């Protein structure tokens, strides 16, 4: 075969290989996590700005009422995106694991760890139900609270109204337990940070275990890619 024919052959071999198919499935799940992490970062980036005391004081000016309203709407929008991507990621992980590891011990390991480390926690159950609240009932509108914890120590917190959330009847027992751990306000930042840190740790574990389990296939894929690269030099 000519050099061009060799290149086409190895390109086709790589494209249709089960190793490449596996890699694409792993990358698809990572992309879902990156969307979730990106929504978290956007929400925290906004909170870092609007919870700055200097910005907060300006927004409390009655002349800036419209601007303040837009900020609260933007916090709500980004929280909605965070919640939606949280649910999507969990669904994508479950589907991915069932399709890829039906006959593999990793599926049992995943289900055991998911149940013990993730889905049994009150914050997970609260976030998953809050997503249903936001998408199927109404938006959990946010408010802002100025407080002085010490002389000249001004803080501002964007929050969810727990009294309003408690009116909803669809909380799971553990989700309601998380909600009841707050009095009148549930800080948006704390909710996002609590949940993101939990999911981040779980996903890192899963990604590492998949790389371990599939090390031989991924090694063969790298070999095919390197062979193709040599022909293309």
pLDDT in tens, 173-213: 999 999 999 999 999 999 999 999 999 999 999 999 999 99
Residues 160 and 185: their CA atoms lie apart, in Å, by 6
Contact of 184 with 162, CB cutoff 8 Å: yes
Parallel, antiparallel, or unpaired: how do β-strands 142-150 and 153-161 relate? antiparallel
* Structural domain range at position 13: 3-232
Residues 126 and 138: their CA atoms lie apart, in Å, by 16
Detail the DSSP E strand segments found in the chain: 142-150, 153-161, 185-187
pLDDT in tens, 92-131: 999 999 999 999 999 999 999 999 999 999 999 999 999 9
Ranking 63-67, 139-143, 186-190, 229-233 by mean pLDDT, the lowest is 229-233
- What distance lies between CA 61 and its chain's CA centroid? 34
* Total domains, the chain: 1
pLDDT in tens, 1-27: 555 655 555 556 656 677 888 989 999
Q: Is the pLDDT of residue 233 over 90?
A: no
pLDDT at 11: 57
Residue 22 exposure: Cα atoms within 13 Å on the Cβ side: 17
Per residue, the 3-state secondary structure of 154-203, as one string, reads EEEEEEEEHHHHHCCCCCCHHHHHHHHCCCCEEEHHHHHHHHHHHHHHHH
Entry field: residues in the chain: 233
pLDDT at 59: 77
Higher per-residue confidence, 145 vs 25: 25
- Please state the pTM of the whole predicted model: 0.89
Contact of 133 with 165, CB cutoff 8 Å: yes
Whose tokens are 């399709």? That residue is 99
Residues 133 and 120: their CA atoms lie apart, in Å, by 19
């Amino acid at each position: 075969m000519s050099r061009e024919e060799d290149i086409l052959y190895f390109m086709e071999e790589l494209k249709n290989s089960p190793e490449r198919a596996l890699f694409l499935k792993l990358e698809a799940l990572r992309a879902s996590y990156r969307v979730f992490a990106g929504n978290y970062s956007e929400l925290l980036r906004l909170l870092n700005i609007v919870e700055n005391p200097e910005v907060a004081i300006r927004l409390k000016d009655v002349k800036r009422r419209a601007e303040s309203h837009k900020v609260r709407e933007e916090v709500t929008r980004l929280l909605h995106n965070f919640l939606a991507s949280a649910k999507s990621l969990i669904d994508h992980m479950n589907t991915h694991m069932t399709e890829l590891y039906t006959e593999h011990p990793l599926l049992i390991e995943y289900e055991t760890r998911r149940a013990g480390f993730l889905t049994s926690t009150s914050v997970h159950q609260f976030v998953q139900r809050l997503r249903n609240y936001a998408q199927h009932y109404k938006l959990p509108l946010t408010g802002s609270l100025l407080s002085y914890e010490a002389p000249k120590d001004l803080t501002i917190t964007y929050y969810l109204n727990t009294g309003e959330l408690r009116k909803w009847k669809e909380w799971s027992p553990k989700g309601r337990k998380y909600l009841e751990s707050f009095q009148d306000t549930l800080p948006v930042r704390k909710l996002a940070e609590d949940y993101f840190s939990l999911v981040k740790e779980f996903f890192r574990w899963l990604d590492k275990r998949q790389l371990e389990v599939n090390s031989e296939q991924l090694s063969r894929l790298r070999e095919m890619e390197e062979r193709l690269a040599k022909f293309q030099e």
